[in-house]
Amino acid sequence: MVDELKPFPSIWVTWLARLMAGETQCQWSIWFRAHYKYEKLGSNFDSAKWNASHQALLHQRICELEAEGYSVCVEGENWFEISGKSYAAKVSGKPDIIAIADQQGFVEDCKTGRKKNSDLYQVLIYLLLLPISHPKCRGLSLVGRLVYPTEVIEIQADQVDEVFKSQFREAIAILSDVTPARKVPSFQECRYCDIAGRYCPERIEGRQALAAEEHDLF
CATH number of 4-190: 3.90.320.10
More confidently predicted of 45 and 12: 12
pLDDT at site 63: 97
Q: What is the dihedral sign for C-alpha 23, 53, 81, 196?
A: positive
Average pLDDT (107-128) is 97
What pLDDT does residue 208 have? 54
> Tell me, what's the pLDDT at 213?
64
Among residues 158, 217, 199, which one has the least CA distance to residue 29?
Answer: 199
Q: How far apart are CA 2 and CA 196, in angstroms?
A: 10
In this predicted structure, what is the pLDDT of residue 33?
97
Q: Give the predicted TM-score (pTM) of the model.
A: 0.91
> What is the chain written as a DSSP string?
--SEE-SS-EEEHHHHHHHHTT--S-HHHHHHHHHEE-PPPP----HHHHHHHHHHHHHHHHHHHHHTT-EEEEGGGG-EEEE-SSSS-EEEE--SEEEEETTEEEEEEE--S---HHHHHHHHHHHHHHHHH-GGGTT-EEEEEEEETTEEEEE-GGGS-HHHHHHHHHHHHHHH-SS-------HHHHTT----TTT-TT---S--PPPP---TT-
Rounded to whole angstroms, how far apart are CA atoms 74 and 62? 8
Whether the Cβ atoms of residue 131 and residue 138 lie closer than 8 Å to each other: yes
How confident is the model over 93-107, as a mean pLDDT? 95
pLDDT at 211 over 60: no
Neighbours of 165 (CB within 10 A): 12
